[in-house]
Structure 1
Amino acid sequence: MRLTARGLGHRFDDQPFLFRNVDLDLEAGRTYAVTGPSGSGKTTLLSILAGWVRPTEGEVDRGDASTVGWVFQNPHGVFQRTALDHVSLPFIAAGSSRADADRHASALLEDFGLGHRAETRFSALSGGEAQRLLLARGIAAAPALLLVDEPTAQLDPLTSATVNAALGAAAGRRSIVVIATHDAGTRDACTDHIDMATFA
Protein backbone atom coordinates (compact mmCIF):
# COMPACT_ATOMS: atom_id res chain seq x y z
CA MET A 1 0.00 0.00 0.00
CA ARG A 2 1.38 3.39 -0.95
CA LEU A 3 0.37 7.06 -0.79
CA THR A 4 2.15 9.67 -2.88
CA ALA A 5 2.04 13.46 -2.87
CA ARG A 6 3.54 15.74 -5.47
CA GLY A 7 4.12 19.48 -5.32
CA LEU A 8 1.97 20.08 -2.24
CA GLY A 9 1.65 23.65 -1.10
CA HIS A 10 -0.90 25.31 1.15
CA ARG A 11 -1.93 28.68 2.45
CA PHE A 12 -5.11 30.06 3.98
CA ASP A 13 -6.81 32.83 2.00
CA ASP A 14 -4.23 35.47 1.09
CA GLN A 15 -1.78 34.54 3.84
CA PRO A 16 1.80 33.44 3.10
CA PHE A 17 2.30 29.78 2.19
CA LEU A 18 2.75 27.43 5.15
CA PHE A 19 4.73 25.09 2.91
CA ARG A 20 5.41 24.44 -0.77
CA ASN A 21 6.93 21.77 -3.02
CA VAL A 22 6.25 18.83 -0.69
CA ASP A 23 6.84 15.47 -2.41
CA LEU A 24 6.12 12.33 -0.39
CA ASP A 25 6.15 8.57 -0.94
CA LEU A 26 4.55 6.90 2.07
CA GLU A 27 4.41 3.12 2.49
CA ALA A 28 2.51 0.76 4.77
CA GLY A 29 4.56 -0.69 7.59
CA ARG A 30 6.49 2.52 8.20
CA THR A 31 5.98 5.37 10.67
CA TYR A 32 6.65 8.96 9.58
CA ALA A 33 7.40 11.77 12.03
CA VAL A 34 6.33 15.20 10.73
CA THR A 35 8.30 17.87 12.59
CA GLY A 36 8.73 21.62 12.36
CA PRO A 37 8.08 24.79 14.35
CA SER A 38 4.59 25.88 15.34
CA GLY A 39 2.79 27.26 12.31
CA SER A 40 4.81 25.23 9.81
CA GLY A 41 1.72 23.27 8.75
CA LYS A 42 2.19 19.87 10.41
CA THR A 43 -1.48 19.31 11.24
CA THR A 44 -2.55 20.89 7.95
CA LEU A 45 -0.39 18.40 6.08
CA LEU A 46 -2.07 15.54 7.97
CA SER A 47 -5.49 16.94 7.03
CA ILE A 48 -4.46 17.13 3.36
CA LEU A 49 -3.18 13.55 3.41
CA ALA A 50 -6.51 12.47 4.91
CA GLY A 51 -8.43 14.27 2.15
CA TRP A 52 -10.12 16.62 4.61
CA VAL A 53 -8.39 19.74 3.27
CA ARG A 54 -7.78 20.47 -0.41
CA PRO A 55 -4.22 21.73 -0.97
CA THR A 56 -3.67 25.09 -2.62
CA GLU A 57 -1.09 23.45 -4.89
CA GLY A 58 -0.24 19.90 -5.87
CA GLU A 59 -2.08 16.62 -5.49
CA VAL A 60 -2.28 13.47 -3.38
CA ASP A 61 -2.68 10.01 -4.87
CA ARG A 62 -4.03 7.68 -2.18
CA GLY A 63 -4.18 4.65 -4.44
CA ASP A 64 -5.93 1.99 -2.39
CA ALA A 65 -5.26 3.86 0.87
CA SER A 66 -8.92 4.76 1.24
CA THR A 67 -9.56 4.37 4.98
CA VAL A 68 -8.29 6.93 7.48
CA GLY A 69 -7.91 6.82 11.27
CA TRP A 70 -6.94 9.78 13.46
CA VAL A 71 -5.59 9.73 17.02
CA PHE A 72 -6.02 13.20 18.48
CA GLN A 73 -3.83 15.06 20.95
CA ASN A 74 -6.26 14.61 23.86
CA PRO A 75 -7.37 10.98 24.22
CA HIS A 76 -11.12 10.35 24.35
CA GLY A 77 -12.74 7.08 25.29
CA VAL A 78 -15.84 5.60 26.90
CA PHE A 79 -15.24 6.08 30.62
CA GLN A 80 -16.93 2.88 31.82
CA ARG A 81 -15.52 0.58 29.10
CA THR A 82 -12.35 -1.38 29.76
CA ALA A 83 -9.13 -1.05 27.82
CA LEU A 84 -9.84 -4.47 26.30
CA ASP A 85 -13.30 -3.30 25.15
CA HIS A 86 -11.80 -0.31 23.34
CA VAL A 87 -9.35 -2.42 21.33
CA SER A 88 -11.70 -5.38 20.76
CA LEU A 89 -14.39 -3.24 19.16
CA PRO A 90 -12.62 -2.64 15.80
CA PHE A 91 -12.04 -6.38 15.43
CA ILE A 92 -15.72 -7.11 16.21
CA ALA A 93 -16.78 -4.41 13.73
CA ALA A 94 -14.65 -6.16 11.10
CA GLY A 95 -16.50 -9.44 11.70
CA SER A 96 -14.46 -11.26 14.34
CA SER A 97 -16.15 -13.22 17.10
CA ARG A 98 -15.88 -11.75 20.59
CA ALA A 99 -13.41 -14.45 21.60
CA ASP A 100 -11.17 -13.83 18.57
CA ALA A 101 -11.48 -10.08 18.98
CA ASP A 102 -10.43 -10.27 22.62
CA ARG A 103 -7.47 -12.50 21.71
CA HIS A 104 -6.22 -10.08 19.03
CA ALA A 105 -6.89 -7.09 21.30
CA SER A 106 -4.99 -8.67 24.18
CA ALA A 107 -1.96 -9.17 21.95
CA LEU A 108 -2.07 -5.53 20.87
CA LEU A 109 -2.40 -4.33 24.45
CA GLU A 110 0.73 -6.32 25.30
CA ASP A 111 2.55 -4.68 22.38
CA PHE A 112 1.63 -1.26 23.75
CA GLY A 113 2.56 -2.09 27.35
CA LEU A 114 -1.02 -2.31 28.54
CA GLY A 115 -1.56 -6.04 28.97
CA HIS A 116 -1.83 -5.64 32.75
CA ARG A 117 -4.50 -2.92 32.31
CA ALA A 118 -6.82 -4.90 30.01
CA GLU A 119 -9.68 -4.99 32.52
CA THR A 120 -9.19 -1.41 33.70
CA ARG A 121 -11.88 1.13 32.87
CA PHE A 122 -10.85 4.02 30.64
CA SER A 123 -11.65 6.49 33.44
CA ALA A 124 -8.95 4.89 35.63
CA LEU A 125 -6.14 5.06 33.08
CA SER A 126 -3.37 7.63 33.30
CA GLY A 127 -2.88 10.13 30.49
CA GLY A 128 -0.04 8.13 29.01
CA GLU A 129 -1.97 4.87 29.28
CA ALA A 130 -5.00 6.44 27.59
CA GLN A 131 -2.86 7.73 24.74
CA ARG A 132 -1.23 4.32 24.26
CA LEU A 133 -4.68 2.70 24.36
CA LEU A 134 -5.98 4.90 21.55
CA LEU A 135 -2.87 4.17 19.50
CA ALA A 136 -3.56 0.46 19.97
CA ARG A 137 -7.20 0.97 19.01
CA GLY A 138 -6.12 2.92 15.94
CA ILE A 139 -3.87 0.05 14.86
CA ALA A 140 -6.66 -2.48 15.60
CA ALA A 141 -8.95 -0.67 13.17
CA ALA A 142 -6.29 -1.25 10.48
CA PRO A 143 -6.92 1.94 8.51
CA ALA A 144 -4.84 2.35 5.38
CA LEU A 145 -3.64 5.68 6.79
CA LEU A 146 -3.32 6.32 10.54
CA LEU A 147 -2.70 9.96 11.51
CA VAL A 148 -1.50 10.88 15.00
CA ASP A 149 -1.44 14.51 16.15
CA GLU A 150 1.07 15.50 18.87
CA PRO A 151 0.71 12.32 20.97
CA THR A 152 3.02 13.54 23.76
CA ALA A 153 2.13 17.25 23.84
CA GLN A 154 0.26 17.08 27.17
CA LEU A 155 2.48 14.50 28.86
CA ASP A 156 5.43 14.62 31.27
CA PRO A 157 8.81 13.30 30.05
CA LEU A 158 8.50 9.88 31.68
CA THR A 159 4.99 9.31 30.32
CA SER A 160 6.07 10.62 26.92
CA ALA A 161 8.79 7.98 26.86
CA THR A 162 6.23 5.21 27.33
CA VAL A 163 4.11 6.59 24.48
CA ASN A 164 7.14 6.90 22.21
CA ALA A 165 8.06 3.29 22.93
CA ALA A 166 4.52 2.32 21.95
CA LEU A 167 4.86 4.21 18.67
CA GLY A 168 7.69 1.88 17.80
CA ALA A 169 5.18 -0.97 18.05
CA ALA A 170 3.11 0.68 15.31
CA ALA A 171 5.83 0.12 12.71
CA GLY A 172 5.74 -2.96 10.55
CA ARG A 173 1.96 -3.24 10.54
CA ARG A 174 -0.54 -2.81 7.71
CA SER A 175 -1.07 0.95 8.05
CA ILE A 176 0.82 4.00 6.86
CA VAL A 177 1.38 5.88 10.15
CA VAL A 178 2.05 9.64 10.06
CA ILE A 179 2.71 11.50 13.33
CA ALA A 180 2.86 15.29 13.78
CA THR A 181 5.16 16.07 16.69
CA HIS A 182 7.49 18.53 18.41
CA ASP A 183 9.04 15.74 20.48
CA ALA A 184 12.53 14.54 19.53
CA GLY A 185 11.78 11.23 21.25
CA THR A 186 8.71 10.72 19.08
CA ARG A 187 10.72 11.59 15.98
CA ASP A 188 13.38 9.08 16.90
CA ALA A 189 10.76 6.37 17.55
CA CYS A 190 9.63 6.60 13.92
CA THR A 191 11.22 4.91 10.93
CA ASP A 192 11.22 8.09 8.77
CA HIS A 193 11.33 11.86 9.25
CA ILE A 194 9.57 14.65 7.32
CA ASP A 195 10.92 18.08 8.34
CA MET A 196 8.45 20.81 7.42
CA ALA A 197 11.14 23.46 7.91
CA THR A 198 12.66 22.33 4.62
CA PHE A 199 9.45 23.23 2.75
CA ALA A 200 8.97 26.76 4.09
Structure 2
Amino acid sequence: MPVTARSLGHRFPGGPWLFLGVDLDLRPGRSYAVTGPSGCGKSTLLAILAGWVKPARGTVEVDVPGRVSWVFQHPHGAPRRTARDHVSWPLLASGLRPADADARAQQLLDQVGLGAHADRPFAVLSGGEAQRLMLARGIAARPGLFLVDEPTAQLDRSRAHEVNIALSLLTEPATVTVVATHDEQTRQSCTDHIDLTAYGAVP
Protein backbone atom coordinates (compact mmCIF):
# COMPACT_ATOMS: atom_id res chain seq x y z
CA MET A 1 0.00 0.00 0.00
CA PRO A 2 1.27 3.52 -0.75
CA VAL A 3 0.43 4.71 2.81
CA THR A 4 0.37 2.29 5.74
CA ALA A 5 0.23 2.69 9.51
CA ARG A 6 0.68 -0.11 12.02
CA SER A 7 -0.20 0.05 15.72
CA LEU A 8 -0.04 3.82 15.53
CA GLY A 9 -0.50 5.82 18.71
CA HIS A 10 0.26 9.32 19.83
CA ARG A 11 0.26 11.52 22.88
CA PHE A 12 2.09 14.67 23.80
CA PRO A 13 4.45 14.71 26.81
CA GLY A 14 2.47 14.48 30.03
CA GLY A 15 -0.85 14.17 28.21
CA PRO A 16 -3.30 11.33 27.55
CA TRP A 17 -3.23 9.14 24.48
CA LEU A 18 -5.02 10.79 21.58
CA PHE A 19 -5.37 7.49 19.74
CA LEU A 20 -3.92 3.99 20.00
CA GLY A 21 -3.67 0.98 17.71
CA VAL A 22 -4.42 2.74 14.44
CA ASP A 23 -3.89 0.45 11.44
CA LEU A 24 -4.33 2.04 8.02
CA ASP A 25 -3.94 0.96 4.41
CA LEU A 26 -4.56 3.99 2.24
CA ARG A 27 -4.78 3.67 -1.52
CA PRO A 28 -4.44 6.17 -4.36
CA GLY A 29 -7.66 7.20 -6.02
CA ARG A 30 -9.46 7.15 -2.67
CA SER A 31 -10.34 9.94 -0.25
CA TYR A 32 -10.43 9.25 3.49
CA ALA A 33 -12.45 11.34 5.95
CA VAL A 34 -10.88 11.32 9.43
CA THR A 35 -13.56 12.12 12.02
CA GLY A 36 -13.87 12.45 15.78
CA PRO A 37 -14.47 15.15 18.41
CA SER A 38 -12.19 18.12 18.98
CA GLY A 39 -8.93 17.12 20.61
CA CYS A 40 -8.99 13.51 19.44
CA GLY A 41 -5.94 13.94 17.21
CA LYS A 42 -7.31 14.39 13.69
CA SER A 43 -4.85 17.12 12.73
CA THR A 44 -2.07 15.31 14.57
CA LEU A 45 -2.71 12.19 12.50
CA LEU A 46 -2.37 14.26 9.33
CA ALA A 47 0.89 15.74 10.62
CA ILE A 48 2.21 12.23 11.34
CA LEU A 49 1.30 11.08 7.82
CA ALA A 50 3.08 14.14 6.44
CA GLY A 51 6.21 13.30 8.42
CA TRP A 52 6.02 16.50 10.46
CA VAL A 53 5.38 14.71 13.77
CA LYS A 54 6.98 11.47 14.93
CA PRO A 55 4.39 9.09 16.41
CA ALA A 56 4.80 8.09 20.04
CA ARG A 57 4.07 4.49 19.09
CA GLY A 58 3.89 2.43 15.92
CA THR A 59 5.11 2.99 12.38
CA VAL A 60 4.08 4.87 9.26
CA GLU A 61 5.28 4.19 5.73
CA VAL A 62 4.51 6.61 2.91
CA ASP A 63 5.51 5.31 -0.51
CA VAL A 64 3.92 7.68 -2.98
CA PRO A 65 5.25 9.49 -6.04
CA GLY A 66 5.49 13.24 -5.87
CA ARG A 67 5.17 15.61 -2.98
CA VAL A 68 2.84 15.98 -0.01
CA SER A 69 0.33 18.83 -0.33
CA TRP A 70 -1.55 20.26 2.63
CA VAL A 71 -4.61 22.53 2.66
CA PHE A 72 -5.18 24.22 6.02
CA GLN A 73 -8.34 25.53 7.68
CA HIS A 74 -7.55 29.15 6.89
CA PRO A 75 -6.77 29.81 3.21
CA HIS A 76 -3.77 32.05 2.59
CA GLY A 77 -2.79 33.58 -0.72
CA ALA A 78 -1.11 36.55 -2.36
CA PRO A 79 -3.80 39.27 -2.15
CA ARG A 80 -3.13 40.88 -5.54
CA ARG A 81 -2.43 37.75 -7.55
CA THR A 82 -5.28 36.17 -9.49
CA ALA A 83 -6.93 32.85 -8.83
CA ARG A 84 -5.32 31.51 -12.00
CA ASP A 85 -1.88 32.61 -10.80
CA HIS A 86 -2.28 30.64 -7.58
CA VAL A 87 -3.05 27.42 -9.42
CA SER A 88 -0.45 28.02 -12.15
CA TRP A 89 2.47 28.37 -9.72
CA PRO A 90 2.85 24.68 -8.82
CA LEU A 91 2.34 23.73 -12.45
CA LEU A 92 5.12 26.07 -13.56
CA ALA A 93 7.32 24.68 -10.78
CA SER A 94 6.75 21.18 -12.17
CA GLY A 95 8.15 22.28 -15.54
CA LEU A 96 5.07 23.11 -17.61
CA ARG A 97 5.31 25.94 -20.10
CA PRO A 98 3.35 29.07 -19.08
CA ALA A 99 0.64 28.54 -21.68
CA ASP A 100 0.17 24.92 -20.68
CA ALA A 101 0.20 25.81 -16.98
CA ASP A 102 -2.49 28.45 -17.50
CA ALA A 103 -4.63 26.04 -19.51
CA ARG A 104 -4.39 23.33 -16.84
CA ALA A 105 -5.05 25.90 -14.12
CA GLN A 106 -8.20 26.97 -15.93
CA GLN A 107 -9.36 23.34 -16.11
CA LEU A 108 -8.90 22.92 -12.36
CA LEU A 109 -10.66 26.21 -11.63
CA ASP A 110 -13.56 25.10 -13.82
CA GLN A 111 -13.63 21.82 -11.91
CA VAL A 112 -14.10 23.55 -8.55
CA GLY A 113 -16.60 26.09 -9.90
CA LEU A 114 -14.20 29.03 -10.06
CA GLY A 115 -13.66 29.21 -13.81
CA ALA A 116 -15.46 32.54 -14.09
CA HIS A 117 -13.29 33.98 -11.30
CA ALA A 118 -9.91 33.05 -12.78
CA ASP A 119 -8.85 36.68 -13.23
CA ARG A 120 -10.07 37.91 -9.85
CA PRO A 121 -7.43 38.73 -7.21
CA PHE A 122 -7.28 36.53 -4.14
CA ALA A 123 -8.20 39.47 -1.88
CA VAL A 124 -11.75 39.72 -3.24
CA LEU A 125 -12.64 36.02 -3.04
CA SER A 126 -15.12 34.86 -0.42
CA GLY A 127 -14.05 32.36 2.21
CA GLY A 128 -15.61 29.48 0.32
CA GLU A 129 -14.08 30.58 -2.97
CA ALA A 130 -10.65 30.93 -1.37
CA GLN A 131 -10.90 27.45 0.14
CA ARG A 132 -11.90 25.94 -3.20
CA LEU A 133 -8.95 27.76 -4.76
CA MET A 134 -6.61 26.18 -2.20
CA LEU A 135 -7.98 22.74 -3.07
CA ALA A 136 -7.36 23.37 -6.77
CA ARG A 137 -3.85 24.66 -6.07
CA GLY A 138 -3.08 21.70 -3.83
CA ILE A 139 -4.10 19.12 -6.41
CA ALA A 140 -2.30 21.04 -9.19
CA ALA A 141 0.99 19.98 -7.61
CA ARG A 142 0.06 16.36 -8.43
CA PRO A 143 0.76 15.21 -4.88
CA GLY A 144 1.12 11.59 -3.95
CA LEU A 145 -0.45 12.45 -0.58
CA PHE A 146 -3.02 15.26 -0.31
CA LEU A 147 -3.90 16.32 3.25
CA VAL A 148 -6.86 18.61 3.94
CA ASP A 149 -7.49 19.91 7.46
CA GLU A 150 -11.06 20.95 8.37
CA PRO A 151 -11.82 22.60 5.00
CA THR A 152 -15.31 23.78 6.00
CA ALA A 153 -14.75 24.68 9.67
CA GLN A 154 -14.87 28.45 9.09
CA LEU A 155 -17.66 28.48 6.49
CA ASP A 156 -21.43 28.84 6.53
CA ARG A 157 -23.53 25.93 5.30
CA SER A 158 -23.94 27.07 1.69
CA ARG A 159 -20.23 27.80 1.20
CA ALA A 160 -19.30 24.58 2.98
CA HIS A 161 -21.52 22.72 0.51
CA GLU A 162 -19.63 24.26 -2.41
CA VAL A 163 -16.31 23.20 -0.89
CA ASN A 164 -17.57 19.67 -0.31
CA ILE A 165 -18.65 19.37 -3.93
CA ALA A 166 -15.20 20.57 -5.04
CA LEU A 167 -13.53 18.10 -2.72
CA SER A 168 -15.53 15.19 -4.13
CA LEU A 169 -14.48 16.15 -7.67
CA LEU A 170 -10.75 16.37 -6.97
CA THR A 171 -9.97 12.72 -6.24
CA GLU A 172 -7.02 11.84 -8.48
CA PRO A 173 -6.06 8.28 -9.54
CA ALA A 174 -2.46 8.65 -8.33
CA THR A 175 -3.22 10.57 -5.12
CA VAL A 176 -4.09 9.44 -1.60
CA THR A 177 -6.39 12.10 -0.10
CA VAL A 178 -6.94 12.37 3.67
CA VAL A 179 -9.38 14.92 5.08
CA ALA A 180 -9.78 15.78 8.79
CA THR A 181 -13.32 16.98 9.41
CA HIS A 182 -16.20 17.52 11.83
CA ASP A 183 -18.60 17.97 8.94
CA GLU A 184 -20.93 15.09 8.07
CA GLN A 185 -21.31 16.39 4.50
CA THR A 186 -17.53 16.48 4.11
CA ARG A 187 -17.38 12.89 5.33
CA GLN A 188 -19.97 11.93 2.74
CA SER A 189 -17.91 13.66 0.04
CA CYS A 190 -15.08 11.20 0.69
CA THR A 191 -14.98 7.60 -0.46
CA ASP A 192 -13.85 6.13 2.90
CA HIS A 193 -14.16 6.85 6.62
CA ILE A 194 -11.62 6.65 9.48
CA ASP A 195 -13.35 7.14 12.83
CA LEU A 196 -10.73 7.98 15.47
CA THR A 197 -13.17 7.23 18.27
CA ALA A 198 -12.64 3.57 17.36
CA TYR A 199 -8.97 3.92 18.36
CA GLY A 200 -9.29 5.17 21.89
CA ALA A 201 -9.70 8.83 20.97
CA VAL A 202 -12.51 9.15 23.50
CA PRO A 203 -12.21 7.54 27.01
Q: How many residues align?
A: 200
Contact 1:42 1:180 in 2 (8 A): yes
- Counterpart in the other structure of 1:187: 187
SS in 1 for 2:197: helix
Q: After the TM superposition, which of the residue ranges 79-88 and 171-180 deviates more from structure 2?
A: 171-180
The alignment partner of 1:20 has SS state of strand
| Greater displacement, 165-174 / 38-47 | 165-174
Q: What SS does the aligned partner of 1:22 have? A: strand
CA contact (8 A) 1:31 1:170 kept: no
Q: Which residue of 2 aligns with 1:172?
A: 172
Whole-angstrom CA distance in 1 between matches of 2:94 and 2:170: 19
The reply to whether residue 86 of structure 1 matches residue 82 of structure 2 is no
Correspondence for 1:150: 150
**RMSD value over aligned CA atoms?**
1.1
1:27 Cα offset (Å): 1.2
The corresponding residue for 2:162 is 162
Q: How far apart are 1:14 and its partner, in Å?
A: 2.6
Task: Tell whether the 8 Å contact from 2:6 to 2:21 is kept in structure 1 after alignment.
Answer: yes
- For residue 173 of structure 1, report the CA deviation from its aligned partner: 3.8
- Distance (whole Å) between structure 2 residues aligned to residue 124 and residue 35 of structure 1: 32
1:139 corresponding residue in structure 2: 139
1:113 corresponds to 2:113 = yes
Matched-pair contact (CA < 8 Å) for 2:30–2:191: yes
Cα deviations across residues 80-132 of structure 1 (Å, max 9, x unaligned)? 00000100111111111110001111110111010010111100100000000
Deviation at 1:65, TM superposition (A): 4.9
* Distance verdict in 2 for CA 1:64–1:177, change over 3 Å: closer
Which 5+ residue runs of structure 1 have no aligned equivalent? none
How far apart, CA to CA, are the structure 1 residues paired with 2:108 and 2:8?
Answer: 35
Runs of 4+ in 1 over 3 A off after TM superposition: none
| Identical columns (%) | 58
| 3-state SS of 1:155 partner | coil
Amino acid at match of 2:165: A
Where 2:79 maps in the other structure, the secondary structure is coil
Matched AA of 2:6: R
Q: For residues 67 and 57 of structure 1, what CA distance do their matches in structure 2 show?
A: 25
| Structure 2 residue identity aligned to 1:88 | S
Deviation, structure 1 residue 66: 6.0
Mark the CA change 1:66 to 1:103 in structure 2 (over 3 Å): closer, same or farther.
Answer: closer
- 2:199 alignment partner AA: F
- Structure 2 distance, partners of 1:117, 1:152, is 20
Between the aligned partners of 1:124 and 1:15, the Cα distance in structure 2 is 42
Structure 2 CA distance for aligned equivalents of residues 174 and 131 of structure 1: 22
Counting only pairs closer than 5 Å after superposition, residues 36-55 of structure 1 correspond to structure 2 as: 36-55=36-55
